[in-house]
Amino acid sequence: MRFNMLTSITDGIMCCITGRALNVVGAIDSVESSDGYDYIEVKPGRILRVKHIVPSRSAAEEEEERKENVAVEEEGEGGEVSGKGVVHCKRKISVYRNGQVVIENLGDVIRSEILHCQNGNTEPGSTVEIELSDANITSPQANGAVLEQGSAKRRKRKPKKTVVIDCKKRITSCKGTHSDVALFFIHGVGGSLDIWKEQLDFFGKLGYEVVAPDLAGHGSSTAPKIGAAYTFYALAEDMRAIFRRYGKKRNILIGHSYGVSFCTFLAHEYPDQVHKVVMINGGGPTALEPSLCSIFNLPTCVLHCLSPCLVWSFLKAAFARQGAKEKQLLKEGNAFKVTSFVLQAMMSGQYWPEGDEVYHAELTVPVLLVHGMHDKFVPVDEDQRMAEILLIAFLKVIDEGSHMVMMECPETVNTLLHEFLLWEPEITATEQTEAKQTTENK
């Protein structure tokens, strides 16, 4: 640690003298696949490392999948059980000039399961109020009479913006034997695809096709030397390119921390191709903007001198325990190797005004929220607020986990993710009635 600190100080002084940002990630010459890694040039000179696992499927597995597809088609033709796994997503979102948002669920809404906080998602026909100024949420179950009276008064006013969502989503089980399913894992600031090692191994062995990219400047991806290369929009376009290259008919997006924002972006842009989303310690449904008072606003050379302290602070804040196992996780592979320049550019580039509460409320894809109870970066009430706003959401709180919960508790996280992939909603009463009426009319 002392040697690393002296090296960092020396490098920092050289950075100040030369005026150049240090960058240990060099350009990648080859774009060919090797050892399960692809090197994708998303833009000229902008190359991302991608872990791509394509499992081999036996003839028996392919035949089983074919029979399942035939069974689904026959169910749809019969009409009696055509509503199985189908959710009628219908909600009205009204935004008023005083910053108030009113969300009315009018269709079939699956109740959220929230551990440690029993404020489930709203039932069909109910209303959720959100104050954008302080992000307070008034639960309709708490005081229904007052809410109903207040909502009636507000309906007399003309909202500044109204969004109506009306669609039917077929949500099915996603098994590893399904050739039309792909899992995308997206890491956050300062990490790399190596933080998903346990998840990639687990789901790869189960027969899933897995895709995990390194963000620009992270892991073994190239690191452009201009700050504009690390804005939210630049990184989001990178993820769009990766998604379009590897995407299947049904895609599951798994994001951690800042990576959750890119999953939300893709789910919003490709609602028919994104089947389910997992958000791990992603925070609340608020628009992103860089903090004006942050240590990352210091000059790059100063940050480089402080890098050993930053690593120590990250260890204390990101892991529930700071034992030998956690320290080893920080040292293994390329998991947390990122330059001070990239780190600073990433933090200052987190500007995404469109990603507000309304943007998240428009999502119709099922979402699993995973939160480590000891997370010092993202408080649990932010994920609670996310669960309230999302149409179909399940919040799971892991008591022994923190911000890097997928590394601390891999078995628990893997089990939760797998159960969510296999989850399929039962036919609702409304859909069953509609199916019977359709059959009678025929």
**Can you tell me the distance from the alpha carbon of 302 to that of 349, in angstroms, rounded to the nearest whole number?**
19
210 vs 33, residue with greater confidence: 210
Marked catalytic residue, from 178, 375, 402, 418:
375
**Least confidently predicted of 125-134, 140-149, 255-264:** 140-149
C-beta atoms surrounding 6 within 10 Å: 11
pLDDT reported for residue 374 = 93
* Annotated catalytic residue within 8, 257, 261, 402: 257
pLDDT for res 88: 86
pTM of full prediction above 0.75: yes
Q: What is the C-alpha separation between 142 and 144, in angstroms, rounded?
A: 6
State the residue for tokens 């269709």.
107
8 tagged catalytic:
no
Q: What is the Cα–Cα distance from 76 to 56, expressed in whole angstroms?
A: 30
Q: Determine what percent of the chain is predicted with pLDDT higher than 70.
A: 65
- pLDDT tier, 207 (very low <50, low <70, confident <90, very high otherwise): very high
403 belongs to the catalytic site:
yes
Q: Please write the tens of the pLDDT for every residue from 342-396.
A: 988 999 999 999 999 999 999 999 999 999 999 999 999 999 999 999 999 999 9
State percent of the chain over pLDDT 90: 51
Burial code (b: 16+ CB inside 10 Å, e: under 16) for 109-140 equals bbebebeeeebbbbeeebbbbbebeeeebbeb
Average pLDDT over the chain reads 78
What does the pLDDT read at residue 291? Answer: 72
More confident residue, 30 or 421: 421
Give the tens place of pLDDT for each residue, 160-182.
889 999 988 899 999 999 999 99
CA 441 to chain centre: 42
Tell me what pLDDT residue 293 has.
59
Please tell me the predicted confidence (pLDDT) of residue 114. 47
What are residue 368's DSSP bridge partners? 278, 394
Residues 223-253 have pLDDT tens digits of 999 999 999 999 999 999 999 999 999 999 9
- What digits encode the pLDDT tens for the residues 82-135? 556 888 888 999 999 888 889 998 877 665 554 444 333 445 455 666 554 333
Q: Is 272 a catalytic residue?
A: no
Q: Which of 225, 206, 215 is nearest to 22 (CA)?
A: 225
- Between the alpha carbon of residue 281 and those of residues 39, 161, 258, 318, 397, the distances in Å are 28, 30, 9, 11, 10
Which residue out of 275, 360, 403, 418 is catalytically annotated? 403
Helices of type H across 220-286: 232-246, 259-269
Q: Which residue has the higher pLDDT, 140 or 363?
A: 363
